[in-house]
Structure 1
Amino acid sequence: MRQTILQATADQSDVVAFRIGEQDYCIDINVVREIRGWTPTTVLPHAPPYVMGVINLRGNVVAVIDLAARLGLGNTQPTPRHVVVIVTFGHQTVGLMADVVSDILGVGEAELKPVPDIGCDTTRAFISNVITLEDGRMLRKLELSAVLPPRAGERP
């Protein structure tokens, strides 16, 4: 894993960048608890199709979400090369399956561009910003409140 760590300033935050297929995404580093290698999951009946199952994380049961499936990119056939990014968002701790974690980047407020208005509310619900990198890649910053499944008793 190649890391680029920049000193954070008042208008800058760090993000963890990862790949899903040929696509680059990122999330705020503040929600990342750890990054683990792929572990087979235990399937739960009647779970949404993008929930691969659950894993045991040091005595806690954690759901693992197939980000590709959740984002409409097709189901992933996991291999030992895949990673699970464990995130804590609100009161939820979940695993997000990705192909690989590629970078930790410092991103300034000026680099966060709005998602273009393409007439698809779902796209704008899942992606909060687009970040253009110097190497020509574009990162899509995930909006975890939309990506994560709702907790029991909450509205989707």
Structure 2
Amino acid sequence: MKQISINATISVLSKEELSQEEKKLMSCAIEARSKAYAPYSNFTVGAAILLDNDEIIQGSNQENAAYPSGLCAERVAIFYAGATYPNAKIVKMFITASPKDRDLEEPIPPCGSCRQSIAEYEFKQDLPIVIFFMGAKGDIYKSDSLKNLLPLVFDKNHL
């Protein structure tokens, strides 16, 4: 039997270690989280995307009583960016998530569906997307590419 080893590198940062641009992106993600519609899970998520044209796009999770019909914050932001600025590239993404009843300190990464959607844009633009994620407070995790979060990605080359 042959084995392969897959390694991912994630940086752990404090707010103080973020650049001014990254702090602004974090603030936009926190603001977006405050606009989440999460009456069923009470778990709010906010995302902010920085495009190469310096636009910042926000998204928040939007739930629905028919659970699969809702949409995650990351995909709300990505799809809006793609629809509004189809030629812009996504440079960075910041995600924050926490239940309504407490401030989660554990960084929450994108779900599988969001990882696949981020992967699509990373391949489409042929440029890595830097992804930051956090709870409501505490450490911030940084990945220099979606490939760290989804190393065996399915993409258009498999079709």
TM-score range, shorter chain: under 0.3
- Which one has a larger percent strand, Structure 1 or Structure 2? 1
Ranked by relative contact order (alpha carbons within 8 Å, sequence separation 6 or more), the top structure is 1
TM-score (norm 1): 0.27
TM-score (norm 2): 0.26
